[in-house]
Structure 1
């Protein structure tokens, strides 16, 4: 089930990127940790704790300062699809947490990647585009980094409650911004800096609270 949910979530996310401005589609996708907490309560019987919701709200606010969404939804359909991508992503992460102690993280990532590839093959043949060598290099690099990140994310859900792990997905915004500074000289503004502080604060709060509970 998590394989199907993950593939649907990715497809819907790319659809929302194509039909919404990037900031808005990214912001909608960042709702997935909230759905992780909800689904973890339903399927894994994990308690919903007030500090988790508070930390998530803090991290979501920080990501809003960085992404700066305009909420310019020309149609409710793309916005709804963007929200559904977060729903399916949250369901997939929850199922990964359930399978963590039963299946190897390598097996989960392999089956997910295989299923997603097979599901997208028809579209490849419909609109085939031959990449240049430079494009192929960047595509392979993106694939290697994405695979490494997926392995680590899957492993993390194996060793900790889904509701506590999900918040750290917001850190990708911070690291993306730092890489932008390093490689493209994209200096952050004051709002972005404030967003970094909020996201880091939320992550530290979850870590300290989880450690104290343990």
Structure 2
């Protein structure tokens, strides 16, 4: 396999793992999103800790990067909480596609955080993607029971987009991936622990098992998506991350008998189609710039 083929394989695996994570979160039943988030990040913390200890690189970081670490952790935690809430109250595929608005929000946040200019093509892509999201959210004729979790799902995509931008900032400054994950997981566990203590909902053995599986699936997703981006640039393979929608729709149908409505399917196609369009446009632009050198 070529490096790009390996990257595609890994990113499709990561999409499957993240779809599994959402499925196990939903299977955990009627528990607060904060409680689910704690156990999900608790597992990720120990996985990241194991990798750091195994590498022997230690826990050093640059103190000047603390604001970026805290920003990534705050927005990442909010993103997970919103995603888990929408997973509990929406179709699995609807919640997944709303969370996949994060790359488009990352374009907007990069403008404010990294001072990167938004090209007309990128601006158009963001606008069309939001149009697709509106078809999933259906604000004009959705009942409040669906509208509110849908808007929370969109907010989750926004927070995730900002968090990914800050991860990029930390990566550009030389911070290591496992330590970024460790810091974020520790922060999220510490922040959610008081809520867990004062509003703990007793869990059955099955619910604990589902949350452990969710944490393991999330860790699998993190490792495989990291492996993907070590074999090829994000601009070449990130579009394949949208296979998560296919996996989520299949898992939702098999385990929850969920069938998306017509407008949601059109919304999926628009958002995924914009991602493919951006992928093709970026690839052609890169080839053109290389040919001109």
TM over 0.5: yes
Aligned counterpart, 1:131: 203
CA offset at residue 80 of structure 1? 9.3
Aligned counterpart, 1:93: 164
Once structures 1 and 2 are overlaid, which stretch shifts more, 63-72 or 46-55?
63-72
Once structures 1 and 2 are overlaid, which stretch shifts more, 49-58 or 123-132?
49-58
Work out which of the residue numbers 113, 125, 148 in structure 1 matches 2:220. Answer: 148
SS at match of 1:138: helix
CA offset at residue 208 of structure 1? 0.6
Work out which of the residue numbers 171, 191, 195 in structure 1 matches 2:267. Answer: 195
Question: Structure 1's 91 and 165: CA in aligned 2 closer, same or farther, altered over 3 A?
Answer: farther
SS at match of 2:203: coil
Aligned counterpart, 1:106: 178
CA offset at residue 104 of structure 1? 2.5
> Following the alignment from structure 1 to structure 2, what is the Cα–Cα distance between the partners of residues 67 and 184?
20
Question: Structure 1's 83 and 209: CA in aligned 2 closer, same or farther, altered over 3 A?
Answer: closer
Aligned length, in residue pairs: 211
For the pair shown, the structure with the greater C-alpha radius of gyration is 2
TM-score, structure 2 length as denominator? 0.54
TM-score, structure 1 length as denominator? 0.70
RMSD over aligned CA atoms reads 4.3
Question: Structure 1's 54 and 168: CA in aligned 2 closer, same or farther, altered over 3 A?
Answer: farther
Unaligned stretches of 5+ residues in structure 2: 1-70, 287-293
Kept after mapping to 1: 8 A contact 2:132/2:266: yes
Question: Structure 1's 193 and 5: CA in aligned 2 closer, same or farther, altered over 3 A?
Answer: closer
Kept after mapping to 2: 8 A contact 1:9/1:84: yes
> Following the alignment from structure 1 to structure 2, what is the Cα–Cα distance between the partners of residues 15 and 189?
20
Matched, 1:120 2:195: no
CA-to-partner distance for each residue in 1:133-182, whole Å, 9 max, x for gaps? 11112111222222333455567788999999998876644542232123
Unaligned stretches of 5+ residues in structure 1: none
> Following the alignment from structure 1 to structure 2, what is the Cα–Cα distance between the partners of residues 200 and 79?
18
CA offset at residue 116 of structure 1? 0.2
Kept after mapping to 1: 8 A contact 2:93/2:252: no
Once structures 1 and 2 are overlaid, which stretch shifts more, 159-168 or 41-50?
159-168
Question: Structure 1's 43 and 152: CA in aligned 2 closer, same or farther, altered over 3 A?
Answer: farther
Aligned counterpart, 1:57: 127
